[in-house]
Structure 1
């Protein structure tokens, strides 16, 4: 069994602390669920990916936080694609996740994943008020052009677009957010997003369900953002957008998102071994 550590969605070599740390365990065939959970806890990252049945063009992949298994993780998928590429995999790898097959194009430096389909749903008024209270926000903080909504894809989660200045003072109640995540079954982060210009966004992502206060880079949420923008006609498509995340927690990260006119969203980023 080979245990690797990567930083995914790094910004540049000039920022050695950039990117979101992820564990990658190759040859995990003989690990039980309890083994994977304890390994993820030992790594202490928000997610660790466990790969089995690895061939040059495919693998089975599962994801564990220090608390539980989750269906999907974007940054650990990017890290896994780069790890596989460095170990002789083909340029395109099919990863079988708990939510379906995710194609990954990878080189030893970067990877692109094709996210599963994401549906966009209304976020209930009472639930929205409860979420805003947990985030320490009010309806006055919301972006009037981008309504909060709920995304159901690889990891179900809400998305909360806010106006200028809100991200800098975001100070959520982790216990309250965790209660919501556990009660509602929100496996993903809770992205609070600000639009900087037409194709550039900043995001902060509370993630107590992953055992951390805030996630430095969230590929699944970035894919959801792309689906949300397209669904609401908030973006001319096809389009390329970027998501800047993690600077507030000392791990600046950059996520690139390709939003086609129809079909599945693609999320790309670099990864470096730690």
Structure 2
């Protein structure tokens, strides 16, 4: 293992301007001297749901940027993400955290992160005195889940099928990572989360799922969400940008949101770490945009 003590590890929370809210992530802005084992060790020591590691610079193509601008105007970085247990292909909240850390160091602007899932553009701007990052997902897709797999997921969660919202059908959605979307019929059902960790973890490994996106629709464009994350070694993820992007793609694919829409997702309230994620759908662009604020956490 290379020396992980040489890497400066920053701590940021994403999707909240309060360090006590949102989803904390470790951020290493120079991980060029770390191998995968060292990155995993850093992530495990931090214990956050995910941490991000910039492994180098690269020259992004113009098409990789949010607005197709020339490569010279965009800063490109290669990035890897690790939970305490394993590497993951994409992590939204750690992307936002890293973009905010870079903006504080180098100033706001356009970034592109080269991830295992593909290029992810991020625009950082200052709004009302706060930095706000907007990531643009890779191309999404949505698929049905087999009845037996759905039954196993519900059994692991201890959710009766009657507690599901029939207006939002179960689906597997992808926008950089795979998530099973399950909609609760009531806020009380969503709040009562106590599941079989090992059983759900085994199913998620078999289906290559990153989280389970549990949702309750409070209004046509407002949702409360929770994300069990046993495959990452934590019971629940406080604010999940990758799942938010997948959920936006799910709503559009199922005709549950218009082609152009701005959605608000509240997450983390039941954990005592409230955060807010803004999901934007644009007509003519299959990708999903997820935005939020963030702040540094004092070590």
Q: Same fold by TM (over 0.5)? A: yes
Counterparts of residues 147-162 of structure 1 (less than 5 Å) = 147-162=169-184
1:143 paired residue number:
165
User: If the length of structure 2 is used for normalisation, what is the TM-score?
Assistant: 0.87
User: If the length of structure 1 is used for normalisation, what is the TM-score?
Assistant: 0.95
Does residue 31 of structure 2 align to residue 28 of structure 1? Answer: yes
Does residue 199 of structure 2 align to residue 176 of structure 1? Answer: yes
CA separation in 2, counterparts of 1:195 and 1:206? 18
2:49 paired residue number:
46
Q: CA deviation at 1:135?
A: 0.9
Query: How large is the RMSD of aligned CA atoms in angstroms?
Result: 1.4
Does residue 288 of structure 2 align to residue 270 of structure 1? Answer: no
SS at match of 2:106: coil
1:194 paired residue number:
216
Stretches of 4+ moved more than 6 A in 1? none
CA separation in 2, counterparts of 1:86 and 1:153? 27
Which residue of 35, 40, 43 corresponds with 1:37? Answer: 40
Residue by residue over 1:36-75, the C-alpha shift from the partner in whole angstroms, topping out at 9 and shown as x without a partner, is: 0101111110100000224771100100011010000000
SS at match of 1:95: strand
Q: CA deviation at 1:118?
A: 1.1
Does residue 81 of structure 2 align to residue 81 of structure 1? Answer: no
Does the CA contact (< 8 Å) of 1:82 and 1:107 recur in 2?
no
The worse-fitting range, judged by mean Cα deviation, of 52-61 and 261-270 is: 52-61
- Count residues with an aligned counterpart: 270
Q: CA deviation at 1:83?
A: 0.6
Residues 51, 64 of structure 1: alpha-carbon distance in 2 compared, 3 angstrom cutoff? same
Note the residue ranges of structure 2 that are not aligned, 5 or more in a row. Answer: 1-6, 59-73
CA separation in 1, counterparts of 2:227 and 2:108? 33
Counterparts of residues 7-22 of structure 1 (less than 5 Å) = 7-10=13-16, 12-13=17-18, 16-22=19-25
Q: CA deviation at 1:156?
A: 1.2
Note the residue ranges of structure 1 that are not aligned, 5 or more in a row. Answer: none
1:3 paired residue number:
9
